[in-house]
Amino acid sequence: MFQMSRRNLLTATLAAPLATQLTGFAAAQSAGGKSYPAGPDDERFWAAIAANYDVTDDITNVENGNWGLMARPVLDAYKTHTERVNRENSYFARRAYWPIYMGVLEETASRLGVTPEEIAFTRGATEALQNIISGYNKLKQGDAVMIADLDYGSIMSTMRWKARQVGAETVEISIPEPATHDVVIETYRAALKQHPNTRLLLLTHISHRTGLVVPVREIAEIAHERGVDVVVDAAHSWGQMDFEAPDLGADFIGFNLHKWIGAPIGVGAMYIRPDRLGAIDPNMSAGPDEASSIHGRVHTGTSNFAAYMSVPDAFAFQDRMGWPQKAARLSYLRNLWVAPCRAVDGIDILTPDDERMHAGITSFRFRGMISEEDNKAIAAYLLDRHGVFTVHRNGVTAGACVRVTPSYYNSAEDMSRAADAILDARTHFLG
């Protein structure tokens, strides 16, 4: 059983001899003549990581926000697990699967810094958050839920749906630009003060629209002082940033493992703080024996056995990079394109350089180009002219934008290519 917290494990890992701890990785270390951990700018180290990813060379992919492709060792393990599940069928599912599943759950909980009783697996962040929000039983007629423009569309809809169900109000706020640590906190403080009937607040730890990191812990404290419960959408943050679930100070959290943990598509997790289990009704399909367990708060039906079985393989690959190290690498790659672009008039960078406020994702907007069509055209230009793949995002009150999302396999050269492409597009569109 996996008993250590991830932080403890990491400390132990770093203290142990490299060659034994970093199988398959030592070559990069000795080639670079460096001791672990490698810095975020150590291209030889990161090239050795990138060598584990089979990535199309048709384009420079800096749109890794949709989901995270599996590294080859994870894909290989996933194939092996799939073959076993398929070969052994119910003989496997009814006899061997449960202990494996429980082991994976325990390891996942440990890496999130919680007990296995505090999390349940889902198929993604959406399923986790839908079940949390729909099952939330503290909202009454006349209360309010609060969402912001940078939240994720379908989760905003889930919050609106919940409010409608009970005759509550949905308060929708906008995060001002430029967003700073203080501005974001004060925006939520003022909104909560202005809407004292708020009972449930949605916070998106990393916005999929702009990449902004919301200071969840600070805002959750303010919310809790006002008796407001906090549900956090951590779809983009776990793995992209280095933290454990309790660090967020939230009541409820939805995660996935198919973005920044590199597990197969179809793995997520729901966290409910143990003393808040009673605030979430059991799922409509839960049996009576599940009423007092988090596992009764989601009911997926038959799911992808092999995907869950591959989670430890995904963790093991993440360990090769080091968790704080991969967070630092993503920020570094972000800075490589942001710095030259920010220096140019007409390009607005939608996350501040304050390290608390961004991770790897950041969006930009050409001044005055705020429509969805404008930003689709910019993304198309980057792809057609430069082979740089990004994605437009809309829904931000101040206007649509283009998102740039590097991943673990991207090189410094990829980011220079992205920066050059954006600078050329700026000249093309703004003159």
Ligand X SMILES: Cc1ncc(COP(=O)(O)O)c(C=O)c1O
Q: Is the separation of the CB atoms in 401 and 365 below 8 Å?
A: yes
- CB of 124: closest distance to ligand X in angstroms? 3
**Binding span for ligand X by CB under 6 A among 96-104, 229-237, 272-280, 376-384:** 229-237
The whole-angstrom separation of Cα 222 and Cα 220 is: 5
Among 28, 62, 104, 125, binds ligand X (CB under 6 A): 125
Contact between 63 and ligand X per CB under 6 A: no
- How many residues at the interface with ligand X, by CB under 6 A? 12
Contact between 240 and ligand X per CB under 6 A: no
Of 13 and 61, which CB lies nearer to ligand X in the complex structure? 61
Residue 385 has a CB neighbour count (10 Å cut-off) of: 12
Report how far apart, in Å, the C-alpha atoms of 423 and of each of 87, 200, 369 are.
53, 42, 15
Which position's Cβ is nearest ligand X? 124
Assigned token pair, 93: 């599912």
The whole-angstrom separation of Cα 165 and Cα 134 is: 9
- At which residue do the structure tokens 């949709």 appear? 66
Among 64, 126, 187, 362, binds ligand X (CB under 6 A): 126
Q: Beta partners for 348?
A: 365
SS3 238: strand
Q: In this structure, what DSSP letter does residue 206 have?
A: B
**Binding span for ligand X by CB under 6 A among 13-21, 42-50, 120-128, 169-177:** 120-128
**Binding span for ligand X by CB under 6 A among 119-127, 166-174, 313-321, 410-418:** 119-127
Of 28 and 105, which CB lies nearer to ligand X in the complex structure? 105
Among 6, 81, 208, 295, binds ligand X (CB under 6 A): 208
Q: Beta partners for 204?
A: 233
- CB of 244: closest distance to ligand X in angstroms? 19
- CB of 364: closest distance to ligand X in angstroms? 18
Among 204, 210, 310, 331, binds ligand X (CB under 6 A): 204
Residue 236 has a CB neighbour count (10 Å cut-off) of: 26
Q: Is the separation of the CB atoms in 370 and 400 below 8 Å?
A: yes
The whole-angstrom separation of Cα 243 and Cα 367 is: 34
**Binding span for ligand X by CB under 6 A among 89-97, 163-171, 232-240, 282-290:** 232-240
Among 6, 195, 199, 236, binds ligand X (CB under 6 A): 236
Among 159, 163, 134, 136, CA closest to 148: 159
Contact between 235 and ligand X per CB under 6 A: yes
Angle, vertex CA 306, rays to CA 302 and CA 309, nearest 5: 110
- CB of 164: closest distance to ligand X in angstroms? 21
Among 158, 256, 318, 407, binds ligand X (CB under 6 A): 256
Q: Could you tell me how many residues make up the chain?
A: 431
Beta strands at 119-122 and 268-272: parallel, antiparallel or unpaired? antiparallel
Residues between 316 and 345 that touch ligand X (CB under 6 A): none
Residues that bind ligand X (CB under 6 A): 124-126, 152, 155, 204, 208, 233, 235-236, 256, 268
